[in-house]
Amino acid sequence: MWDCVLVRYSEIAIKSRPVRSRFERILVNNISLALKGCLRDYRVQRKWGRIVVEAKNTDRVCERLSYVFGVVSISPAKRLSLRGLPKFVERNVSKLVQKGPFAVRVTRVGEHSFTSRDMERKLGEIVVKKTGKKVNLKEPASTLHVEIREKDAYVYNDVISGPMGLPLGSQGKVYCFVNDKLGILAAWLMMKRGCRPIIFHTAPVDELDRWSPGMELEKTEISSLEELAERAKGDETPVVLADTLNTASIEGIKADDERFYCVLRPLIGYTEDMVKELRKRVLG
Amino acid sequence: MWDCVLVRYSEIAIKSRPVRSRFERILVNNISLALKGCLRDYRVQRKWGRIVVEAKNTDRVCERLSYVFGVVSISPAKRLSLRGLPKFVERNVSKLVQKGPFAVRVTRVGEHSFTSRDMERKLGEIVVKKTGKKVNLKEPASTLHVEIREKDAYVYNDVISGPMGLPLGSQGKVYCFVNDKLGILAAWLMMKRGCRPIIFHTAPVDELDRWSPGMELEKTEISSLEELAERAKGDETPVVLADTLNTASIEGIKADDERFYCVLRPLIGYTEDMVKELRKRVLG
């Protein structure tokens, strides 16, 4: 039934118009790369603070986009003309409203002769008439969402969380040193922060690949942190290390700070519980 | 009805017996300090991987403990002898099982002539008989929990989340530089990590006080980061700064690293979204 995917992204981190525009361009590009090669027909469009992906296989789109940083949430949806909306709901009511009591939620942008409330009531009546189901606005078992934009309407049921963060490559490059799983987590955090990672590894880092779908990560196998220090001599690119207060001593931190131009340690405030939770999220 | 509070804490971060024991001692001490001065009668006891606080005003205990780092979750509970359990449930059934379908969950440590399942069934039957309510193990509207330890039973309904982390003061001391809200968040993260903070501030830091209930934080007002650099000269205590990639440049990070013995930046991997969420959590 679905023929597109609504992609929501954050604008909080965006201050000025040009920065926001750049952020959106990178995100659209990353989404296109993620879908290229795994889908035949699709179209990625920027619209009113949303990105809309038109595609037949919306499951596949959702699966890929759940690994694209910068995506806040996604919804497989059906695009309709506003005029066709009531008829569509009537025809597909059994798919749109499944078990138990339901709710209709309408959001609206543009000038219309009705309020969002009016439309919720109208569609709700259609559902009740066709199915006999009860309305429950507080704790519905299923929700029929409608996003109305001028003369278009997007109908959807689910809101699936994305990985959040900033689009990969929207921030500067960093050298990530990976010699264990913690190293992967530290690199992941900086990737989520938008940085473009260049990976120097003594251990396998394949787990990072799925977090840059459609984009090859830059990787170099090395033998030790000393080797990275040697290679990075005179280089002002920040180096990402996986130190936590469990694994590193203050003296060790001091020594590494002197060895590199600049060291970033995204895990330094993490407890083992937090690391464990992050591991589950990143490594599955 | 409740006469004690069950406190759950994490053991994941604990490797060896002596470290774990030290961790528990600090946590028990922090809990006692948090309750002292705001409660008259209470007793804090370590028991089988739990801490039990006996007190009349369990609401007050829960409120205070929700700001004690190291606490994973808390439950206002009633302590009973195992023999008195069925009678107690029968008498208090209307308070223990409120709206809608219910479930009974029993956990058990020690040798008993019955299984946990047996006890769940037995208590469930009492509830059904007295109230006519339905059992729903999958999605109960209310749950009657029973924790059985040898000849004791603890009955409770709610599991309230604690702040997690490690007990304040279980790790080394850090100098926290606070000149804005971000500085408070950075200090908070290291406090949650167990560090003992010594606060150098140019802006108010009162919001941190409630996260060390019953313990006075060490604070010094200063005029600038330069002043801290001056004071910390020759001192190997790590300095906590609130840098994110939004607020700091790589050059600035480099410069501060040279100014102090060792700098920790717990926010370096945070996006603005993550900062916003943390703000809500810490500053309310």
Of the pLDDT bands very low, low, confident and very high (cuts 50, 70, 90), residue B214 is: very high
Element (H, E) at A20: helix A17-35
Q: How far is it, in rounded angstroms, from Cα B38 to Cα B36?
A: 6
Which chain A residues are within 8 Å of B268, Cβ to Cβ?
264-266, 268
Separation in Å, CA B204 to CA A240, B68, B145, B201, B247: 32, 21, 43, 7, 20
pLDDT digits (tens, 9 = 90+) for B161-197: 999 999 999 999 999 999 999 999 999 999 999 999 9
Q: Which CATH class is domain A173-283?
A: alpha beta
CB contact under 8 A, A269 and B264: yes
Do the domains A4-161 and A173-283 sit in the same CATH topology, yes or no? no
Closest CA to B200 of B181, B229, B176, B169: B176
Average pLDDT, integer, range B47-73? 94
Cα-flanking dihedrals φ and ψ of residue B96, to 5°?
A: -80, -30
| Measured CA distances, B145 to A172, B58, B97 (Å) | 51, 17, 10
Residues 148-187 of A with CB under 8 A from B: 164-166, 171-172, 186
Question: In sequence order, what E strands does A28-70 have?
Answer: 42-47, 50-55
Between CA A123 and CA A276 the distance in angstroms is: 45
- Output b/e per residue, A82-102; b: 16+ Cβ within 10 A: beebbebbeeebeebbeeeeb
Q: Which of B165, B102, B170 is nearest to B133 (CA)?
A: B102
pLDDT bin (cut points 50, 70, 90) of residue A10 is confident
Q: How far apart are CA B177 and CA B205, in angstroms?
A: 10
Whole-number percent of chain B with pLDDT over 70: 98
Q: What is the rounded distance in angstroms from the CA atom of residue B161 to the CA atom of residue B8?
A: 10
Contact predicate A52/A70, CB 8 Å: no
Residue B202 near residue B223, CB atoms below 8 Å: yes
Q: Hey, how many other C-beta atoms are within 10 angstroms of the C-beta on B197?
A: 25
Which residues partner with B197 through β-bridges?
A: B174
- Which chain A residues have a beta carbon less than 8 Å from that of B238? 250, 253
Which candidate from A164, A257, A265 shows the least CB-CB separation from B268?
A265
Q: Which two tokens stand for residue A256?
A: 């590494």
Which DSSP letter does residue B142 get? E
* pLDDT digits 0-9 by tens, A166-189: 999 999 999 999 999 999 999 999
- Nearest chain A residue to B257, by CA: A257
Question: Which chain A residues contact residue B267 at CB under 8 A?
Answer: 269
Reading the block at residue A84, the tokens are 């066709």
Compute the count of residue pairs across chains A and B with CB atoms less than 8 Å apart.
97
Average pLDDT over residues B214-236: 96
Type of residue at A204:
P
CATH 3.30.2130.30 at B4-161, yes or no: yes
d(CA A60, CA A265) in angstroms, rounded, equals: 35
Q: What local confidence, expressed as pLDDT, does residue A12 receive? A: 59
Task: Bin B37: left if φ > 0, else alpha if -120 < ψ < 50, else beta.
Answer: left
User: Helices B17-35 & B58-65, crossing angle to 10 degrees?
Assistant: 120
The dihedral through the CA atoms of B68, B70, B72, B77 has a sign that is negative
Cβ <8 Å between A193 and B273: no
Looking at residue B153, its pLDDT comes to: 97
A20: pLDDT strictly greater than 90: no
Residue B177 tokens read as 């530089």
Task: Give me the amino acid identity at B39.
Answer: L
Q: Residue A102's closest CA among A127, A135, A129, A80? A: A135
| Continuous segment of H or E residues that includes residue B31 | helix B17-35
Residue B262's alpha-carbon distances to A246, B175, B211, B236, in angstroms, are 16, 10, 25, 7
Is B272 near chain A, with CB under 8 Å?
Answer: yes
Does B28 have pLDDT greater than 70?
Answer: yes
Residue B12 has pLDDT above 70, yes or no: no
- Strands B71-81 and B160-161 come out as antiparallel
Phi, psi of B193 (to 5 degrees): -75, 0
pLDDT band per the 50, 70, 90 thresholds, residue A17? confident
The residue written with tokens 């749950």 in the block is: B143
CA atoms of B212 and B204, how far apart (whole Å): 16
**B169: number of Cβ within 10 Å:** 20
Taking the domains of chain B in order of start, what are their residue ranges? 4-161, 173-283
Integer Cα distance of A254 and B252 in angstroms: 17
**Is A250 close to B263, i.e. CB distance below 8 A?**
no
Q: ipTM of this model?
A: 0.86
| Closest Cα in chain A, distance from residue B2 (Å) | 30
Query: What are the chain B neighbours of A269 within 8 Å (beta carbons)?
Result: 186, 189-190, 192-193, 264, 266-267
In DSSP terms, which residues pair with A176 in a beta bridge? A199, A240
pLDDT exceeds cutoff 80 at B16? no
Angstrom distance (rounded) from CA B6 to CA A33? 51
Residue A21 has pLDDT above 70, yes or no: yes
Distance, CA of A27 to CA of A14 (rounded, Å)? 13
For residue B181, the surrounding DSSP H or E stretch is helix B181-192
Determine the Cα–Cα distance for residues B154 and B170; give it in Å rounded to an integer.
29
Say whether pLDDT at B11 is over 90: no
Long-range contacts of B214-219 (CB under 8 A, 24+ apart): B214/B30, B214/B32, B214/B33, B214/B34, B214/B35, B214/B36, B214/B37, B214/B38, B214/B64, B215/B30, B215/B33, B215/B34, B215/B168
Q: B13 falls in which pLDDT band (50, 70, 90)?
A: low
What CA–CA distance (Å, rounded) separates B267 from A189? 11
| Beta strand spans in chain A (E) | 4-9, 42-47, 50-55, 71-81, 102-109, 142-149, 152-156, 160-161, 173-178, 196-201, 218-221, 239-240, 263-264
What is the rounded distance in angstroms from the CA atom of residue B252 to the CA atom of residue B263? Answer: 12
Structure confidence at residue A244 as a pLDDT band (50, 70, 90)? very high
